[in-house]
């Protein structure tokens, strides 16, 4: 069986239209694709549209490490 390759436009339109349909099975049959493929494309589209959250915790951790290092250096200077 030959692997079918679908364009990004086709996938995007299919996902958009699938949200307007009440029966995805019938919609998939009309297009000649599997229902699982539509759900997979929906999942990928949702992931792509959701912006990644910046991790402020990681930035804070870096700042804490930097300040801890600076404090340690200051303590060593006072003891000398």
pLDDT digits (tens, 9 = 90+) for 16-60: 999 999 999 999 999 999 999 999 999 999 988 877 666 667 888
Q: Are 38 and 15 in contact (CB under 8 A)?
A: yes
Q: Are 15 and 41 in contact (CB under 8 A)?
A: yes
Task: Give whole-number Cα distances, 12 to 1, 8, 44, 49, 52, in Å.
Answer: 25, 6, 10, 12, 20
pTM for the complete prediction?
0.61
pLDDT at 21: 93
Domain ranges of the chain: 8-79
Q: Does residue 54 or residue 70 have the better pLDDT?
A: 70
- Look at the chain and count its residues: 80
pLDDT at 59: 84
């Amino acid at each position: 069986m030959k692997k079918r390759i679908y364009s990004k436009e086709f996938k995007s339109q299919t996902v958009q239209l699938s949200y307007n349909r009440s029966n995805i099975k019938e919609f998939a049959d009309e297009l000649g694709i599997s229902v699982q493929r539509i759900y997979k494309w929906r999942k990928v589209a949702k992931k792509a549209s959701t912006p990644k959250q910046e991790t402020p915790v990681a930035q804070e951790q870096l700042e804490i490490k930097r300040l801890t290092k600076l404090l340690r250096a200051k303590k060593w200077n006072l003891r000398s």
